[in-house]
Amino acid sequence: PDLDLGELLKYLKRKRHLAKLYGQGTTNFKASKHEIKKSIINVPRDAIQLGFQHLDGAKVYGNEVEMGLAIKTSNIPRQNLFDVTKLWDLKNPKAAF
């Protein structure tokens, strides 16, 4: 069956101890890296407010500005969140840092 994100978030809010097992993945949902898309801010922000603590992104997704705004507008202290990214410069891993 299809999983409805809204229903999952409501369920996890009722079962807060389970929320830490889930992460909010992100990807590039926009045509241009130069636009700021409100929906990319809203979904992770709402997930954070419902108890998600793990955000998964990557520079290549082009949504780092939105992820930062989601964290900032969630009113949850940054130190309570795990914001994970990926390294893409496989030819020079040290430069990826």
pLDDT digits (tens, 9 = 90+) for 67-89: 899 999 999 999 888 888 776 76
Tokens of 35: 């636009």
Average pLDDT over residues 34-41: 81
d(CA 50, CA 45): 9
The confidence score (pLDDT) of residue 50 equals: 86
**How many domains does one find in the chain?**
1
- 51 CB contacts (<8 Å, ≥6 apart)? 12, 13, 16, 19, 20
Q: How would you list the strands of the sheet with 23-25, edge to edge?
A: 23-25, 54-56, 82-84
Q: What pTM did the predictor assign?
A: 0.63
Q: Which of 19, 48, 61, 69 is flagged as catalytic?
A: 61
Residue 61 falls in the annotated catalytic set: yes
Q: Is 63 within 8 Å of 31 (Cβ atoms)?
A: no
Residue reference for tokens 């998964």: 56
